[in-house]
Amino acid sequence: MKVHGGTPSNSGRSLCATCRFATIIRGRTLDEEIVQCLSMATRGMRVTFKVTSCTAHSAVDQPTYTQLLEEAWVLRPASKRQPAGFVKYSELKAEEIQAIMAGLQQDET
């Protein structure tokens, strides 16, 4: 039997423990803990309960979108001066980056 949307288990760790937006301060005992969420959605909200689901969660052990872009290889189209080929995103000029980002935004719509 499968239950969807049931009561979540309270035995696991809070999502905040693995979130890059969380600042967690712990004292000597288990009930001495302050969790501050610094995501854009919550704007510095204090969390007073164990979080089991969060739409703003960003795992600290996973690269951010910006980090992925910095490591990415981008296919540069051929021009009069250069043949087509792959270049590191970090080596692109500002104008080329803007053109890529504009293209991504058009693809999303």
Please name the helix (run of DSSP H) or strand (run of DSSP E) that holds residue 100, with its range, or none.
Answer: helix 94-108
Which amino acid, residue 6? G
Task: Decide: helix, strand or coil at residue 70.
Answer: helix
Give pLDDT tens digits along the chain (109 positions).
666 666 666 667 889 999 999 999 999 987 899 999 998 887 889 999 999 999 999 999 999 887 888 888 888 778 888 888 888 887 888 888 788 777 776 766 5
pTM above 0.75, yes or no: no
